[in-house]
Structure 1
Amino acid sequence: SRVSLVVVLCLFAFCSAEYFEEEEEFYPPSRFPIDPDANRTMCEIIQAKGYPCEEHYATTPDGYILGMFRMPQPNNVGPPVLLQHGLLDSSFTWVLNYPEQSFPYILHDLGYDVWLGNNRGNTYSKNHTTLSIHSKEFWQFSWDQMAEFDFPTQIQYALSKNAMYPKLVYIGHSEGTTQAFAGLSLNSSIADMLYGYVGLGPVISVTHMSNLWLRDLLELGVEWIWNVLGIYQFLPTPVELHSEFVWACAECPICCNEVIELICGRHHGAFNNSRMNVMSGHEPGGTSTQNIHHWAQMVKNPTFQKMDFGAKRNEEIYGQTTPPVYNLNNLPKSLPMMLYSGSHDELADPDDVQTLVTTLEGIVESVYWKEVRKYAHLDFAWALDAVDEIYIEVTDIMRDWVEGI
């Protein structure tokens, strides 16, 4: 696994370089067709499929400007639903596949006002009211701030654009579930804005995770190296090398698939390899190295808590020497939840999910849980059979949550 970690770190350093000299294209034309979606923007991808798309920006209380995409219904009618991506990802993850295989299009066809969120620091949320993205200060965040600020801000913004419905359905994947559990435990009143909460690959603990590169990341203690080098973002979308990555993944989709699975774990659901060059044009979404360090801490410590900066710094930030714990007992009891996990998930390990569900069943009145056989962490958004395994069932239950659909 150490070899795997070296590969990931090299890719990380390569993608994180801020400046590249302009060079002539050194690669020959691809032997295989490159899908136009590889070079399209989010809205261009959606519009090319015959669906409407709007780009929006929501500003958090601490100044981060989050990019959001909306697939509106005619005359802005229809109940809103917000889909939130996972770790190292972006809103693109939901539209990688074709309309009949992708959750946003399916939801739009059913009459929903679809919103695709983006957390601070990823491809579509690299902006701030006062901070430069080249500054260290911009990147001083983890999923703590996504829970406290990004989660409620995007919900409030989506609702502000829909005058017909006072609530929305929240659908999170991976880290999108982590920030929801943490955000709701910090402020249970957020539930007043939700019809229900759907968690795909839910994560609040990774002590049993079988993806070894994150474990090695913690053991090597490499965060100080990144700080010395002034590298504060982790695996951003390689904008300067966009064409090269798209070409490489068109030539060898299996090679690119191996890199993605190295980072995110194996996917076991049906996958469309012909879309790999599209994926390479938009993934990974990136995050801060501080966020990765917070995740690494979670491998060693099973407690669902805020980031640990050490006793002295904790005292300065939190007023105590240890990080505050997220108290799941504060979760709103009346908020209905649907959770879907995978039997082969290397991040949201089945044992960790079982512990989470058992805890929730003693707190929340309505918790539905389904473990999808052979599903891994990426399959909830990328698997071609996710429609039959998950999406149809979710939309059936959502009808019971939402009036007027």
Structure 2
Amino acid sequence: MVSKIISFSILTLIVSIVLINYFSRVKPNHPLADLNVQEIIQEYNYPVEVHNVVTEDGYILTLHRIPHGRGNLSRKRKPILLLHGLLQSAWDFVHLGPNQSLAFVLSEEGYDVWLGSVRGTTWSRNHTNLDPDKDAAFWNYTIHELGVYDLPAFVDYVLEKTEQKSIHYLGYSQGTIAFFIMGSEKTDYLSKIKFMAAFSPAFFLKDPISPIVKFLANNWRSLQGLLNFFNYRELFGRGDLFSSYMKFVCHDENSVLINLCIHTHFSIFGYSYDELNKSMLPLTAANTPCGVSLKQFVHVFQIADSGDFHRYDFGTEGNLEKYGQEQPPHYDVSRVTTPVAIYYSSNDWAVNINNMDRVLKTVPNVVKSYKVPLEDFNHLDFLYAKHVGDLLFNVLLDDLSKY
């Protein structure tokens, strides 16, 4: 039995190496595909600053700042912090360019825009003591650490640099999870956020519509065991098999493979043909997905499986050792008194709309509940849809102006 497992492991490794080598030969066919976050902001003629932020537990994170728009140099600008979704980074707020990417839209509306990239992503793979390529300890974190270390570090840094007492905050998907963890665990930070915008709030994930997400939620224990066996710590990094595959099938909008690219996205996030911008798929694939820890990834599907919002589940014995109880502690969202606006959609296959009633009943200070008025609007459309400006961003800008 052991020899068969070893043989299977070796075969899997060889096949993965061959496929990665094959897929990596094809490069995304887009003129901006080789640019990083700083370079793509500069490409669109916006000012940009790059800041390093060190968390309490030693992770060195990157904050990208767009201090003002291309034509508006006013010094009295309102700081806003944006935090991305799972497998994303600051890149996803800028790569679609002016009039389409949220960071640029906010900048032109008079905001001082700060874009965080959480630990383990392409732009935040540094630590004061640990090497992500050599030290497994670098990847020993869950979503909990994003909420109690990464987001508070970003908030404090922005407040210090802008000399403000509070800021606006927008979280998308995982970015909403980090906020509600911070708000329930570190309530002193609630006064530092004057208004929170939640795009597709993802802390209640019961019954995802996507068959892929549902499968992972129902089988996270097996997934975790398998990946632990192969000694995985990081998933979906820029050079791994899945990332290379996505670059391969999405490399050219005119390729015969583009339908594989489209249906891979849709099978996870929901079908939305009319809002899909095919020309941007090669550029998106160049930098997304951009890395996640195994425990962080599993934590998401634990939450989806249980239907509750709780800390990482180490199993009965592990929970007793870690938390002093058999079940992982729940996050008390009722402690989050910050004014919160909820933005959601009908066709979100990752965050089932049926969870929204529970979200609205649990969050104590919901000042706005907005369902995007397009039945096909999916999970990725919150940032990528062709008409996201008219459908969502204009509503957001109006809500922000009230705070």
| Identity level (%) | 27
Q: Distance in 2 between matches of 1:15 and 1:389?
A: 44
What's the offset of the Cα at 1:75? Answer: 8.0
Farther off after superposition, 259-268 or 337-346: 259-268
Equivalent of residue 316 in structure 1, options 314, 317, 321:
321
Q: Tell me which residue corresponds to 1:4.
A: none
Q: 1:15 to 1:358 in 2, by over 3 A?
A: farther
Q: Quick check: 1:57 aligned with 2:55?
A: no
Counterpart-to-counterpart distance in 1, 2:361 and 2:92: 29
Unaligned runs of 5+ in 2: 1-11
Give the aligned partner of residue 4 of structure 2: none
Which residue of 1 is the match for residue 238 of structure 2? 237
Asked if structure 2 preserves the Cα contact closer than 8 Å seen for 1:46 and 1:52, the reply is yes
Deviation of 1:269 (Å): 5.8
2:100–2:388 Cα contact (<8 Å) kept: yes
Mean Cα displacement is larger for which, 267-276 or 224-233?
267-276
**Partner in structure 2 of residue 94 of structure 1:** 93
Query: Is 1:45–2:40 an aligned residue pair?
Result: yes
Deviations 1:152-175 (A, max 9, x none): 111111122112x32111001001
8 Å contact from structure 1 (residues 83, 172) kept in 2: yes
> Which segments of 5 or more consecutive residues in structure 1 lack a partner in the other structure?
1-11
State the secondary structure of the residue aligned to 2:402. Answer: helix
2:347 counterpart of 1:344: yes
Of residues 189-198 and 317-326 in structure 1, the stretch that sits farther from structure 2 once superposed is 317-326
Distance 1:70 1:307, change over 3 A: same
- Specify whether residues 57 and 264 from structure 1 end up closer, same or farther in structure 2 by C-alpha distance, changes over 3 A only: farther
**TM-score where L is the length of structure 1:** 0.86
Letter in 1 for 2:396: V
Matched, 1:298 2:298: no
Q: Distance in 2 between matches of 1:285 and 1:264?
A: 17
Task: Specify the SS of the correspondent of 1:377.
Answer: coil
Q: 1: distance between equivalents of 2:129 and 2:100?
A: 40
1:194 alignment partner AA: I
The whole-number CA distance in structure 2 between the counterparts of 1:170 and 1:247 is 35
Structure 1 distance, partners of 2:286, 2:14, is 16
CA deviation map 1:206-247 (0-9, x unaligned): 112111223323444121121121111121223898799268
Matched letter for residue 369 of structure 1: S
**In the alignment, structure 1 residue 326 sits paired with structure 2 residue 299:** no
Say if 1:98 and 1:330 are closer, same or farther in 2 by CA, change over 3 A: same
Cα root mean square deviation, aligned: 2.8
CA change 1:62–1:209 in 2 (3 A) is same
CA distance in 2, matches of 1:15, 1:283: 23
Taking the aligned partners of 2:182 and 2:170, their CA distance within structure 1 comes to 14
- C-alpha deviation, 1:180, in angstroms: 0.7
SS of residue in 1 equivalent to 2:194: strand
Number of equivalences: 378
- What corresponds to 1:137 in structure 2? 137
Q: TM-score, normalised by structure 2?
A: 0.86
| Contact 2:29 2:251 (8 Å CA) reproduced | no
Distance 1:24 1:184 in 2: 42
What's 1:391 paired with?
393
